[in-house]
Amino acid sequence: DTEVTQTPKHLVMGMTNKKSLKCEQHMGHRAMYWYKQKAKKPPELMFVYSYEKLSINESVPSRFSPECPNSSLLNLHLHALQPEDSALYLCASSQARVNEQFFGPGTRLTVL
């Protein structure tokens, strides 16, 4: 199984809502990532988990809270987001942090 799955595919939320994005991989990869991508821009790294521990937080606002319950799952908890947070949120995994990354299909988030 060389697939990274993400749910939901689309999400519309208000600025006072709390929601979570989910990501799953079964390739035995030990590094997992959250990226944010705006239209016509490259993926922008948010968080890196290595062996289920948070190893990089790219100065992401606290309204985004990552969680890695186990080696296959990665969550991104969202609370009190702003309209400018609307974007495609991509999850990725890799065997090691500088190896090829497998991306999920993303969650397209709209904040109203």
In the bound state with other proteins, the residue whose beta carbon lies nearer, of 33 and 111, is: 33
Query: In terms of residues, how long is the chain?
Result: 112
Assign 85 to helix, strand or coil.
helix
84 lines the binding site for other proteins (CB under 8 A): no
- What CA–CA distance (Å, rounded) separates 84 from 3? 29
40 lines the binding site for other proteins (CB under 8 A): yes
In the bound state with other proteins, the residue whose beta carbon lies nearer, of 33 and 85, is: 33
7 lines the binding site for other proteins (CB under 8 A): no
- What CA–CA distance (Å, rounded) separates 112 from 99? 36
41 lines the binding site for other proteins (CB under 8 A): yes
Cα–Cα distances in angstroms (integers) from residue 44 to residues 4, 14, 71, in the given order: 18, 23, 22
Given 56, 60, 73, 80, the residue binding other proteins (CB under 8 A): 56
Residues lying near other proteins in the complex (CB under 8 A) are found at: 33, 40-43, 45, 48, 55-56, 88, 90, 92, 97-106
